[in-house]
Structure 1
Amino acid sequence: MEPDTPSEPSLSASAKLRATLSFLRSRVGNLRRSHYGAKLAEGDVLVLGAGFSGLLIGIKLKESGIPFTIIDKEEDVGGTWLLNRYPGCACDVPAHLYSYSFEPNPDWSEAYAAAEEIHAYIKRVYEKYDLAPRTRLRTRLKRAMWVPQLRRWRVALESGEVLQPRFLFSCVGALHYPQIPDVPGKESFKGTMFHSAEWDHATDFSGKKVVVVGSGASAVQFVPEVAEQAQRLVLLQRTPNWVFGRGEWLLPARYYPENLKWTYRNIPLARAAYRATLYWKQELAMSFGGLFDARDNPRSRLLHAQGRGYMASHFRGRKELRDKVIPTYPLGCKRICKSDVYLDSLRRPNVDVVVAGLAEVQEDGVVDTLGTKHQADILIFGTGFDIGSVGEDVQLVGTGGFSWTGNSAWRQGHQAYLGTSMQHLPNTFVILGPNSVLGHNSVLLMAEAQADYALRLLKEALDHDIDSFAVKPRVLQDYNRWVQEQFTDKVWSRCSSWYQAETGDIIALWPRTTYDFFTCLYNAPGLREDYEVTAADAPVQARL
C-alpha cells in the first residue's frame, strides 16, 4: 500500500554519497557484457532521434547487449548540430564539458566549440561505436500509438512501414523545430526569407538590406557576421538579453594552445582534472555564487551590477543603445548569452536596433508593431524553437486520451518524473524531457544520468518479466510539486520566458545543481516502487 505522503527526494550528504557510488558501479558494470540481448527480439527497442541523446542511448544499449534501432528523419546523425549551421554558430557551454564523459575529446580547438567541430565529434563517436548498422536515417516518424492489448507501441513511418517496439526512447531534443512568427504577408515577400536553423548558405548579404527578427541566443551569434556584409541591418528586438563575454577563468581567450592539447591527449589525469574543475566551477556558481538567485542579497546584487557594467562598457557615448539593449529584468530570467563581438556589432553605423516585434511582412519589407516599415531584401528569423516539439506532423498517442503533437505536451505543462517518465507514455523514456534543461551547465551531464536510470529500469523489467510500466500518478505529482517548490527563490519564478508552460509552471528547467539531479536519479527507487507495472501473462509471440 502506498504511503499517504511519499517522501520527497533526499539531497543529504549521505544521499549524494550513495548516488556517487551507484554512478561508479554503473560505470564498472558497463564494462561487462550482459545477457539481456537474449530476452529481447530485434525491433523491441526503438530510439527516436540520432543526435547526442539518441546516440548516447544507442551506446548504452549496445554495451548491455540489447538489440535496438535508431531512426532519424535527417540524412546524417547529429541532431541540432547537423541542422544549425548559421554563421557564428557555436555552443555556449565550454567544449570540454560539452562531450560525453566516457568519450573525452582532448583536441577541442576552441573554448566554445563551433557547430562544425561539435558535429565532427559526434560523427567520430558514431563511427567508433559502430552504430551505423543499428541506425536508419531518412526515416520519418508519422504516428506512434500505445496498444494496451499488445503492450507495445505501434509506430507508423511516413514510408508506410509499421514497427511494433516494446520500449521507446524519445531523444528528439527540446530545441529542434524552428519557431516562426505567425504574422500576415509572409507569402508575399519577394526577397530571401529563412530561419536561422534553416540557413540559406547561398545568400550573399553584400549591399543588401537585412531585417533580423529576434535577439536571442542564435541572433547574438549570427548578427555580427551578417552586419559585416550587409548595407543595412535592422534588428527587431522585443526583449533584450543579458550578454556576457566569453572570457572566463580556466578558459583560453579563444583557442587552446597546442601544448595544452598535447597534455590533454597524453595525460588523461590532467584532462580529467581540467574537466572536473570546469564542472565544479559551473556548479558552484549555481549553488553558492548567487546565479539565478531571486532573493535580494549581496551576491545577486553584485552579479547584476557586473552584468550591467560589462554591457554598459560597450556603449559609452551611446545612451540610446544602453537603454535599448541592457535588460531591466533580473539576470538569468532568460538564457544568458555569451559573445565577445555582439555588443560591439550593434554600434556599427549600418545597424539599427528597434525595440518592437514583427507585425506584418510585405513584398519589399516588414512592418513592426510600432507601425514603422523597414525595407528588406533579406528577412532572417532568429526566433528560437518550439520547445519540446516532436514535429507538427507527428503524433504520439498514449493512455488516458493523451496526445502529443508539435510542442503540445510541453506547452500544456505535462510533467515527467525525474525528467524521464511521463504518466501516459508507458514503456517510454524521454531523454531531456520536462524539467531537465539547464541554465548553467552541460545538458549532456543530465542526459547521461537519465540514460543510466532508463537502462536500470529497462533491465529490471526484463529481470522480473514486467510487460509494461508507467509512473504512478501520486509519485509523479509529489515529485513535480517538489520541483516547482524549488523555483520559489529562483529568478525564473519572477518573470515570463519560454521556460514556462501555459499553466505558469516552469516546465523546461531543472531548478538545482546537476549533482542534485544525479542524486535524485541514482537513488530513485525501481519500477516496482515508483511505477504501475503489468507482469507478462504469456509469451510475446502468443499475444501477437
Structure 2
Amino acid sequence: MDAKSDYAVKEQPLGTLRRVRIVTIGAGMSGINIIRTLRLNTSNFEHVVYEKNEEIGGTWFENRYPGCACDIPSHNYQFSHTPNPEWSCVFSESDEIQSYLQHVCDKHELREYIKLSHSVQHAQWDEESGKWILKVKDEVAGTTFEDRCDFLLDASGILNDWKWPDIKGLHSFKGDLIHSARWPKDFSYAEKTVAVIGNGSSGVQIVPALQPTVKKLVHILRSPTWISPPHTQVMAASPAAPFLSTIQFDAQGRFTESQMEEFKTDPQKYGKFVKVVEAIVNSRFPSLLNGSPEAMITRQIITQYMTHALNQDETLMKALIPDFPVGCRRMTPGVGYLDALTKPNVQTVITGIEEICPEGIKLVTGELIVVDAIVCATGFNLSFVPRFPIIGTSGNLQDIWKDSVPAAYMSCMVPNLPNYFTFLGPNAPIGHGSVVTITEHIAKYITKIIMKCQLEDITSVRPSPEAVKDFSEHIANFMPRTAWSASCSSWFKNGKKDGPVTALHPGSRIHWFHMLELPRWEDFEWKSAAKNRFAYLGNGLSTKEAPGQNSTWYLDAPDALW
C-alpha cells in the first residue's frame, strides 16, 4: 500500500445511503406510482413531483370527450398494489379511472409529494455539481423559480401534447372547432351537424357517443383501421372461457351489482379473474409476427366480425377493412363504432380534405360539406421530442431528437443525459397492453439504479453511446418481423406511413418485463465523488447488523440468490 495515500476510511457502515434529491415531472400514472416505489424501497431522499395541471391524473384528467374510456380491460388497468374490485364495466370510462387514481393518491398518502399547477420549463445538467438545474413555473402565481436535483424523472407521458391537424384554413371555421383532448364542458351537440375527423382510438369512441344525439354525423377517415370484436367475445373464445362464463356482465360489458359484491367478498376468485384476463392480454404478441399462424387466424376472425358488423355494406367495408396486417395501427375494441356507421344519420367520407372553410369542409372533389361543429380526433405529438429544453452534456435533447430517430436505452435512459430517466420513452411496450403494469416495472428498474448510486456514492450515471447504438440496431433489425412495420399511417411511427417504429418494444410485454429484471451495469458510464471506488465499504460494519435488523437473514431462505 502506498504510505503517502490520502485515502481515509469512511466512518459509516456498509449500506449507508447518500442523501439525494429527486424531481419527477408529471403526476399521471407513472408519476404517482414512482412516489410509492421509492418510498417503499429506499430512504434518505427528498422527492417532489411537479404537475402542470390543477389535479393529478394526466391523460385521464385531461381527456373528457364523450365516450372516453380505456381500451384495456379495467381489472388490468390498475396498479397491482391497489386492486379495485368495484370497476363498473369491462372498459371503464375516464371519470371512473380518474377517481381510481385519486383514490390511489389518498390511500397511499402520495399528495404530500406533489406540487400541482407547477410546470417544468427548462432543465440543464451541471457536470461540475452533478445536479440538474430546473426552471419551474408556478402556473397560479405566474412566477418562475429555480430548483436543483440529483435525479430527474420524466413522467410527462406520451398522450398529452395534443395537436391540431395540418389542414389548410382550419381556424377559419366559424362554427365550433374542438380537439378531442380539449373537449369544452359546455359544448352541446344535440341536433347539430357534426364532423368527426379521425378514426384512431379517440375517434372510434366519439362517433358512437355522438351518433344517437346529433342531427347528422359526418365521419371523415384518412385510412381504414382494424376494429376488434368486443372483449366479451374474445374472452368467450379463450381457453379460460369456462371460468369466465361465471363472471356476470351485460351486453354493454357492465358488471352486475352481485358480481362486484362477489369480487369484494371472494378475493380468490377476484385474483383469478385478474390473472386470467391479464394472460389473455399477454398472449396477443404472436399474432403481430408476420406470417405466423396466429396472425392469419386473427385477420380472418376480425375480417368476419367487421363484415358482419357493417351489415356487409360494400362501401363501408371498402372504407374500413384494411389491406395492411392486423396490428399495423393500434387496434381498438371500438364498442358500438361499426354499428354507428350503419345508421341513417351518419355519412362516412373517405375523400381527402382540400381545406376548411368558414361554413364547413371542402373535399378534394370540390364538394363542400356544411357543418355546425368540427371535432378533430387527430391525436398527439408522438415524436418523443420534449416540450421544453432538456440540456445534457451534448446539447438540447429537443434538437437532437428533432433531427434524428429518437433512441433510448431500455426505453428509459438517454446517452449524454446523466441521472435522467423517462417513463414510456422511445420503444417502450406502450402498444402491448396496460401501461399501468408497465410503469410499475420501469419504476422498480429506475429505483434499483438510484439506490446503487446512493449506496456507492455515485454522482452520475448514464448509458454508454455504444450500448444505445447496439440496442437501437437490435430494434431496427427486429421490427420488420412485425405488423407494426407494415405500410400504414400509425402513431407507432409518429404518424408516418413508412418509417422506423419508435413507439414500441421489440418483443412481448413479458419479454420487456424479463429484460428489466437485472440491470446491465456494464452498459453504464459512472462517475463517483469518492477517490476510491470501495470507499462505500466504510468502517467494517453493515447496516444489516444494526439494532432491530435481521442479521441472520441468510438462514431464512438458504436457496435464494439474494
- Say yes or no: TM over 0.5: yes
Is the CA contact (8 Å cut-off) linking 1:294 and 1:494 kept in structure 2?
Answer: no
1:188 equivalent to 2:182? Answer: no
Is the CA contact (8 Å cut-off) linking 1:213 and 1:358 kept in structure 2?
Answer: no
1:267 equivalent to 2:266? Answer: yes
Which structure 1 residue ranges, 4+ long, deviate > 4 Å from structure 2?
Answer: 388-392
Partner of 1:24: none
1:342 equivalent to 2:337? Answer: yes
The runs of 5 or more residues in structure 1 that have no matched partner are: 1-33, 539-544
Alignment of 1:28-177 (within 5 A): 39-40=18-19, 44-63=21-40, 64-65=42-43, 66-158=45-137, 159-177=143-161
Letter in 2 for 1:294: N
1:146 Cα offset (Å)? 1.3
Partner of 1:436: 428
How many Å separate the matches in 2 of 1:230 and 1:308? Answer: 29
Letter in 2 for 1:286: F
Q: Which moved more, 1:458-467 or 1:417-426?
A: 417-426
1:266 Cα offset (Å)? 2.8
1:411 Cα offset (Å)? 7.9
Letter in 2 for 1:272: G
How many Å separate the matches in 2 of 1:184 and 1:315? Answer: 32
1:82 Cα offset (Å)? 0.4
Q: 1:317 to 1:414 in 2, by over 3 A?
A: closer
Partner of 1:498: 491
TM-score by length of 2: 0.83
Matched residue of 1:275: which SS? helix
How many Å separate the matches in 1 of 2:482 and 2:447? Answer: 32
TM-score by length of 1: 0.86
Cα RMSD, aligned residues only: 2.2
1:110 Cα offset (Å)? 0.5
1:474 Cα offset (Å)? 1.4
Q: Which moved more, 1:67-76 or 1:176-185?
A: 176-185
1:367 equivalent to 2:362? Answer: yes
1:121 Cα offset (Å)? 0.5
Is the CA contact (8 Å cut-off) linking 1:213 and 1:357 kept in structure 2?
Answer: no
1:188 Cα offset (Å)? 2.1
1:123 Cα offset (Å)? 0.1
How many Å separate the matches in 2 of 1:512 and 1:83? Answer: 30
Matched residue of 1:39: which SS? coil
Alignment of 1:162-311 (within 5 A): 162-246=146-230, 247=232, 248-249=234-235, 250=244, 252=249, 253=251, 254-287=253-286, 291-295=287-291, 297-311=292-306
Q: Which moved more, 1:181-190 or 1:87-96?
A: 181-190
Q: 1:309 to 1:197 in 2, by over 3 A?
A: same
How many Å separate the matches in 2 of 1:460 and 1:325? Answer: 51
Aligned equivalent of 1:400, options 394, 397, 402: 394
Partner of 2:523: 530
Matched residue of 1:105: which SS? coil
Bigger-Rg structure (1/2):
2
Q: Deviations over 1:76-96 (max 9, x none)?
A: 000000011111111010111
1:381 equivalent to 2:381? Answer: no
Letter in 2 for 1:48: I
Q: Deviations over 1:478-505 (max 9, x none)?
A: 1222233332321112224221258932
Q: 1:370 to 1:523 in 2, by over 3 A?
A: farther
Is the CA contact (8 Å cut-off) linking 1:52 and 1:78 kept in structure 2?
Answer: yes
Matched residue of 1:269: which SS? helix
Letter in 1 for 2:484: W
Q: Deviations over 1:309-363 (max 9, x none)?
A: 1111022252111111211211110011112311111111121111134332211
Letter in 2 for 1:402: N
Partner of 2:6: none
Matched residue of 1:486: which SS? helix
Matched residue of 1:184: which SS? coil
Is the CA contact (8 Å cut-off) linking 1:47 and 1:54 kept in structure 2?
Answer: yes
Q: Deviations over 1:58-101 (max 9, x none)?
A: 11122233320000110000000001111111101011110111
Matched residue of 2:23: which SS? strand
How many Å separate the matches in 1 of 2:177 and 2:403? Answer: 27
How many Å separate the matches in 1 of 2:380 and 2:403? Answer: 12
The runs of 5 or more residues in structure 2 that have no matched partner are: 1-13, 138-142, 236-243, 532-562
How many Å separate the matches in 1 of 2:431 and 2:403? Answer: 19
Q: Deviations over 1:450-487 (max 9, x none)?
A: 11110000000111111111101111121222233332
Letter in 2 for 1:483: I
1:214 Cα offset (Å)? 0.8
Is the CA contact (8 Å cut-off) linking 1:175 and 1:389 kept in structure 2?
Answer: no
Q: 1:368 to 1:151 in 2, by over 3 A?
A: farther
How many Å separate the matches in 2 of 1:460 and 1:239? Answer: 48
> What is the aligned length?
493
Letter in 2 for 1:61: L
